[in-house]
Amino acid sequence: MTDIARNLAAIRARIAEACARANRDPAGVGLVAVSKTHPAEAVVAALAAGQTVFGENRVQEAQQKFPPLRADHPALRLHLIGALQTNKARDAVRVADVIASLDRPKLAAALADAMKKEGRAPGLLVQVNTGDEPQKAGVPRAEADSFIRACRDEHGLTISGLMCIPPAEGDPRPHFAFLANLAAKYGLATLSMGMSADFEIAIAEGATLVRVGTAIFGHRDYPAPA
């Protein structure tokens, strides 16, 4: 059993325990294994351990890593969870099963155009900047309502859920609760919230997807700046 397989088993057990504490069915909480910066071999090890849903930040890395794996692993699903540039919209539509970082009108228009041209419709999650942090992607809290409506009414997009990354400091519960209430208001079934440090809290607040990277794959080695 590889370290990745052991880590996955431990995370799944913690998800099940968190669901039990929250009186939730564990089947209602999916795990996105965040494989960004980790090699394809790490993804293969996770696939061998039964993990099928992965998260990547950068379109270019996803394009290099995942298409070769799909032939042997047809159940593989890829979520793009990083900030997305409009000029990468078409590439994102080609490679992703879910785009979880829809956060501005220009990107909504670019994705609508790309999906029409590609004949492919990945699931779309609106990312909300619940802490209104200037360094983070995501639509500001005050604009979330109008943006969700604009995605549907002006751009013809089907929004399946919401995503957030709370501030690193402080209690994440109010941020998760805000997102859950917003999703309920619009009848959105998918709530992608909670990462390695706080996914159990997110489950208690209604998360249907948790994004875990470090606790599965270990610490990331980021390339040094040029």
Asked if residue 129 belongs to a domain, the reply is yes
pLDDT at 226 over 60: no
Asked if residue 153 belongs to a domain, the reply is yes
pLDDT tens readout for residues 75-123: 999 999 999 999 999 999 999 999 999 999 999 999 999 999 999 999 9
Asked if residue 226 belongs to a domain, the reply is no
Rounded to 10 degrees, the C-alpha dihedral 97/216/25/144 comes to -50
Asked if residue 222 belongs to a domain, the reply is no
Asked if residue 224 belongs to a domain, the reply is no
What is the value of pTM for the model shown?
0.94
Domain count for the chain, please give it. 1
Asked if residue 19 belongs to a domain, the reply is yes
CA 12 – CA 29 distance, rounded (Å): 10
* Residue 121 structural domain: 3-217
Q: What is the CATH number of the domain that holds 135?
A: 3.20.20.10
